[in-house]
Amino acid sequence: MELIDQHTKGIMEECKVRARDAGLRFDDESLEYIVTNRDLLELSPKGMIPTLYDYWVNDVEVIKGKERYKLYPNNPYETVINSRPAISFYNDNNPDWLNIMIFYHVLAHIDFFQNNTLFLNTWKDDFVGEALADKRYIEQLRSEHGRWVDYVVEFSRGIDNLAGYFDRLPLRGSIEDMQPPSKVDFYFDVFLQSMEKLPDHEIFKEIERYNKLITRNKAVAESAFFADVRKKYPEFSALYKKHTAKNGENVLDLMEFVRDNSTFLKKENNEWMKSVMNIVRGTSLYFSPQIRTKITNEGWASYWHDELFRADDRIKGHEVDYARTNAFVTSVSRVGLNPYAIGLRLIQYVEELVDKGKSAFGFQQLSKIEIREDFDKRTGKGRDAIFQLREKFSDFTLINTYVTQDFVNEHDLFVVGQRFNPQRGTVEYYIKSRKSEDYKKMLIEQLYHPPEISVIEDKTNDSNLYLSHQFEGKELMKAYIPETMTGIEYLWGGQVQLETTEIVKTDAESEDEELEYEHRRVLFTIKDRKISKTDL
């Protein structure tokens, strides 16, 4: 990977000025790299984070398919990552006009990362720096504990989609009220003094080290400083997070619960495993907001690359090229779901709604079609509204709020179904529904949504961990239950039970009758790596 050349960097800086003028807000620094196919081979399994820890599964072709995203809460192939400074990746032979368009797109993504409240917990750290420290730490552990490190990584990853991402988001998203201590303050004021109880001269030495780094390079000082801190005190990061989370409701997710309560992990020789769990959990949490804002984020970026580039004089002579590329990116598919297209149109729809005053309660009371159509209050507040949208909305809330019949009609959207045609021996794709509720339901079905599994503390003791799956109409993938539970059992060091619901087909009385499904609550128990199932 090498940085882009000065000429292109100049173009990028120019784009930043214009994007800021339009209202986008992002950090000054950004890094742009040229990537080759070889780089991508390494980057894409690591979610484009160059410093992510190594893991053997990344070297193997992992079974792909439509289910992939359900398993991995990251989109492995992004052009810009949510780091400080933000890092983005480019082809080395893009023409300048295309780079301008991409830069605007990237800047809008950075703006989204740094302002959307779902990303709130990623604002305090530079993940790339943190990941580097983690990677080195895992390497060091590997040299001590060999393959067992990989087992712990594997078993932690087995439950990393259950990390309590939403539990860690402050309730109302108003960080001003909460004011947690900065990482630096916490380190010097609390951690070193009252937790580690270091003598004064040692603390002074640390302060000196910090100051030296600050004077040398302000931008990376903190992450460099904490990279060393993590090596010395691997537990620091967890303590800091715990400390800052005190304000919110402190519900432990499965990973945390196992980490803090497992008798197996409490053994002195196994303490290191907790750090590994933390690293895996942290990585999962880092990717969580991104997968939950795919449509919104891509829509936002597409909105701005279009707005900004069309107003940019550098487009001259490339209008047709741009129109082609933009159409390729943002046209609604005949069959399929393009997040760029849907996101962009939803954002434009919201802007128009507010501009015309149609989002107001008064409008919703109107039922006459002509009046509804001609309704226009010219509020001029559409822009403000979409800036609020970028701050507060996730894919789910955006779809759930704004996929209305008007929206579906305006863009001729429909739900596509498939059926088998035995005469022709083909699978047919047909228009199943043009109703907004069906379209909305279909969209929501597609969104990333891991199962909700929590620890039932009343039924849990040192020798038994009792988990309960909250049934949401879909059963858990059966094939993966035993192996996932094996991993939990290993980390827990004792029996693990999982309560879940299975969907059982009941025999239809006659052939014409529709198949009936019955929901049955079952309990899986794993002990000594043997799994059994009982009906509840």
Partner 1 sequence: MPERKIDISAFLEKHGIDPEQEELVRRELEAGGEHHLVQMPPGKPIDAPGIYDFSDLQILQGIAPPKVSEVTALQTLEDLLERDEQREKDGFQKRIRIGRIVKPISGHKDQVVVVPTTTEPKFYHDTSTTEEEEATGGSGEGEEGEVIGEQAVDPREGEDGEGAGQGQGAEHDVLSDAFDLGKILTEKFSLPNLKMKGKKRAFTKYIYDLTDRNRGFGQILDKKETIRRIIQTNILLGNVTEEASVDPEELLINPKDRIYRVLSKEKDYETQAVVFFLRDYSGSMAGKPTEIVATQHLFIYSWLAYQYENKVETRFILHDTEAKEAPDFYTYHNSQIAGGTNVHPAYELVNKIVEEEQLARDYNVYVFHGTDGDDWDSVGEEAVKEIRRILTYCSRMGITIARNSWGSSGETTVEKYIESSGILKEKPDLIKMDMMVAADSTEERIIEGIKKLIEE
Q: Which is nearer to partner 1, 136 or 432 (CB)?
A: 432
**In 3-state terms, what secondary structure has residue 121?**
helix
Nearest approach in angstroms of CB 513 to partner 1 is 13
Return the residues of window 456-485 that contact partner 1 according to CB under 8 A: 469, 472, 474-484
Nearer CB in complex with partner 1: 162/354: 162
Nearest distance, CB of residue 30 and partner 1, angstroms: 15
Centre a 10 Å sphere on the Cβ of residue 419 and count the other Cβ atoms it contains. 11
**C-beta closer to partner 1: residue 212 or 530:** 530
CB of 67 to partner 1, least distance (A): 7
* Residues of span 75-134 touching partner 1 by CB under 8 A: 75-80, 89-91, 94, 98, 101-102, 105-106, 109
Within 159-218, the residues that bind partner 1 by CB under 8 A are 159-162
**Total residues in contact with partner 1, by rule CB under 8 A:** 118
Smallest gap from Cβ 342 to partner 1, in A, equals 7
Residue 151 binds partner 1, judged by CB under 8 A? yes
Find how far residue 526's CA is from the centre of its chain. 31
- Mark the segment that binds partner 1 (CB under 8 A) among 35-43, 133-141, 219-227, 379-387: 35-43
Two tokens, residue 202: 């040692």
Which residues, in sequence order, are bridge partners of residue 499?
A: 468, 523
Closer residue to partner 1, CB minimum distance, 384 or 516: 516
Q: Which is nearer to partner 1, 65 or 199 (CB)?
A: 65
**Interface with partner 1, residue 507, by CB under 8 A:** no
274 binds partner 1 (CB under 8 A): no
- Which tokens is 294 given? 């795919």
Helices (H), 116-235: 127-145, 147-158, 175-178, 183-185, 200-216, 218-232
For strand 530-535 and strand 464-470, is the pairing parallel, antiparallel, or unpaired?
unpaired
Contact predicate 310/282, CB 8 Å? no
How near is the Cβ of 445 to partner 1 at its closest, in Å? 8
Q: Which amino acid is at 213?
A: L
- CB of 137 or CB of 155, closer to partner 1: 155
Q: Which helix (H) or strand (E) holds 526?
A: strand 516-527
Exposure of 243 by Cβ count < 10 A (0-12 exposed, 13-18 middle, 19+ buried)? middle
In this structure, are residues 300 and 108 in contact, taking their beta carbons and an 8 Å threshold?
yes
State the sign of the Cα–Cα–Cα–Cα dihedral 446, 393, 254, 249.
negative
Tell me, residue by residue from 440 to 459, as one string, x for binding to partner 1 by CB under 8 A and - for no binding.
--xx-xxxxxxx-x------
